[in-house]
Structure 1
């Protein structure tokens, strides 16, 4: 996996996420489509303080994506929200999602003390709890997991 690169997105228009959109929709997930739609409409450009978007590439092909926003469901400014983590199925279980998550965690330390997320996917639930998130649907609004940064 030495060829895997985690790259900060400056302009999403520079990246082709078509394969991620197609596969995620076939799996019944709409969040990659939502990411692109909101980016194009300027609703969410991952450009506020502490926000960032990354792609994972392997041999110059986009195989994954993950973002970090200020949590829109919490008024506290020190709560970030992990958004739209997705890796193409042929590249799963190779550590790419973990690399994306590690990069997001590192980025989050400069702005946020907590990071939240929401998932109903049991596989994602196991992934997040194995990577330091606490499953808790009651502490943070519209979240299933949180991660204490500081």
Structure 2
């Protein structure tokens, strides 16, 4: 099933609707394609992962530090790119992937819990709030 990446600026209603489903999954990358070579390498891999593994209630986002700084409240991870995933309301993944291949990312997301970045804003809650995009 093909699931395109969504953008919080243009797809706010669709994102909020998806995240309100009981089986919702949110997977995102925080990166900086303008100056991070690793991020530029990872973005097409992440897009392919979303297209190949995305299900109906999955939400896939690429949040660029420059394009989405206001949305991220100027949060800057210690290292980039940062992979973040939620199953329902539970944060399940927050880490910098060491291998940037589609099989490696897919494998990371099958692991039940892997949180290596503790200081993280609640991106999911922000996406679900009624007035964030107004």
Structure with the bigger RCO (C-alpha within 8 Å, sep 6+) is 2
TM-score (norm 1): 0.33
Point out the structure with max Rg over C-alpha.
Answer: 1
